[in-house]
Amino acid sequence: MKKTIKIAMIASVVFALTAFLFLQGQEATRLVVVARQDIPTGTIISGEMLGTEQIPASSTLAVGMASTKGEVVGMVTTMGRATGDLIPLAAVGRERKRLQEGNGLITISLPVPETAKITDGDIVDIIVFDRTGEPLLLEGFVVVSVTTDGREAHLVLEAATDSLL
């Protein structure tokens, strides 16, 4: 064979080997949301406050992080974030309103099937029985939150404190 063909073949093998080794070293990445500015606790998040970055998908940092701005825009920070911080989904929540003057909260637990269609913001009435067995209707409780542990649902309700006494 001619000398130039041998050199070309050796060069192509070296190039192919280099490309193979380079591609072997490449790692899959995942898009995560980061803070472009300091975001104090209690701030409603806007799109301008956020950016995105690629991090290795195998990184433990990727677990539980927001992957799109849409997941967190409009939410409220429950933990402050510094510029460049990743935004974990656990660090944001819905905006909480303050209790109205003269209102209080109570929590009641019910079997899950009875609460299947109750959601935050619903208004519910409660029938309670006193020691004499007489029913008492308490009206106008606003559902603040509903959580479930599998068997029971726990409702946090807001109502006027005079109706709770």
CA 79, CA 98: separation in Å to the nearest integer? 18
pLDDT computed for residue 27 by the predictor: 72
pLDDT value, residue 138: 83
**Which of the listed CATH numbers 3.90.1210.10, 3.40.190.10, 3.40.50.620, 3.20.20.30 matches domain 29-93?**
3.90.1210.10
Residue-level pLDDT, tens digit, the chain, 165 residues? 677 888 888 888 888 888 777 766 667 788 899 999 999 988 889 999 999 998 887 776 667 888 899 889 988 888 889 999 999 888 888 766 667 788 888 888 888 777 778 887 888 888 888 788 888 888 888 888 888 777 888 888 888 877 665
The one-letter amino acid code at 64 reads G
**Could you give the 3-state DSSP secondary structure of residue 73?**
coil
**Residue in 75, 155, 88 with CA at minimum distance from that of residue 122:** 155
